[in-house]
Amino acid sequence: MNSNIKVIRYVVGVGIILLIVSNVLAGNKPSQERKSRIMSPVRSFHPKEYVCYRASEPIVVDGKLNEEAWQHAEWTDDFQDIEGGSRPVPRFRTRAKMLWDDKFFYVAAEIEEPDVWANITQRDAVIFHDNDFEVFIDPDGDTHNYTEYEMNALNTLWDLLLEQPYRDRNFVLNNYDLKGLVSAVSVDGTINDTSDKDKKWTVEIAFPLSAYAELKSKPADGVQWRVNFSRVEWQIEKVDGKYQKKINPATGFSYPEDNWVWSPQGVVNMHLPEMWGFVQFSDIPSGEGKTSFKWNRDEEVKWALRQLYYAQRRYASANHCYASNVNQLADLREVPDSLNVKLYTTPEMYEAIIQSPFSGKNWHINQEGRTWSDN
């Protein structure tokens, strides 16, 4: 699909059904600081899309991607900077592809890298202190109860379960282990050898569907999950035959890492699940046919509710309570009466409800940022 048409579709859709957010308010402009903590994304809503076909044969997780099913699976778009197209193009190429079967959701990634290195060998250590590859999965798309998975070129793993994004509650199950998960790394070159140049490292991961069995959204034909991928890349130099992070002489510390992702977040923060891409499962075996991604227009309703959530956070920060009326949210334009936005508040909680003009479902959001429907 033409990218310009795609952007128009999302922007116009949101404009029709709900809150048009002003992007010119003071204090809500994009920051040039790479460690920005802006709470809401500074980009329009047009996440990446991918159709995930069935594996037509057993997949051996070895990092080689030799199976015919992998050969037919399409690559994602090349990764971009986490903030989007306004930032420099990544120095090295990264791309991913996906498959599924009755037992696993498979992810593979090709990570171009002239100097493959890794140091961390302890499971559940903070892997992003090395160059790494990360996978984020929210099966039911409510932005809560999602998993994060990180690995380095030594195939050292860190898997986490987050009940809520950090912005809503700083509680993480750091010792969570995805039982049955299988992963592998294949290096085209050498690892931790400064005497040569490498080409890439390839990762292959099988996420057991049993680990997501309690969630409402199980893979099936047409079902969509929210997924994103991230690559952390550090600037390095060779010192005494070893790789080390390059030091910024102005600060005395290492340069900040680059964050390259599949679906840009708009800010330097992967923990905004509403910005992740959409993965649509298909029963068609890989290589035996094609199907189109089907946009669910209720996502426009959910995105509009998300704008109210952002505005309520800003309002509460300034007023120490939540707005009881949409008109109190100064950075939202007038809401058409036909939308019938219902807003219920107490000093410490709120819930907003919109009936979708597309499906008829009532969609909700609360002060914790969770979205859900009645049916």
| pLDDT tens track for 13-71 | 433 333 333 222 222 222 333 333 335 666 578 999 999 999 999 999 999 999 999 99
Q: Give this prediction's pTM.
A: 0.88
Three-state SS for 248-262 is CCCCCCECCCEEEEC
Supply the pLDDT for residue 330. 77
- Under 8 Å CB-to-CB from 245, ≥6 apart: which residues? 234, 235, 236, 237, 254, 255
Looking at residues 293-300, what average pLDDT do you find?
A: 96
* Residue 1 scores a pLDDT above 70: no
Structure tokens at 212: 């997501």
- On whether the CB atoms of residues 97 and 279 are closer than 8 A, the answer is no
**Residue matched to tokens 């939308």:** 339
* 318 pLDDT tier (thresholds 50, 70, 90): very high
- On whether the CB atoms of residues 300 and 317 are closer than 8 A, the answer is no
In CATH, the architecture of 41-285 is Sandwich (2.60)
Residue 217's nearest CA partner among 278, 290, 164, 265 is 278
Give the DSSP per-residue string, 182-193: EEEEEEES-SS-
Question: Could you tell me the residue ranges of all domains in the chain?
Answer: 1-30+297-375, 41-285
Distance, CA of 155 to CA of 176 (rounded, Å): 17
Looking at residues 309-323, what average pLDDT do you find?
A: 93
- On whether the CB atoms of residues 227 and 277 are closer than 8 A, the answer is yes
For 137-156, the pLDDT digits (tens) are 999 999 999 999 999 999 99
Looking at residues 244-269, what average pLDDT do you find?
A: 97
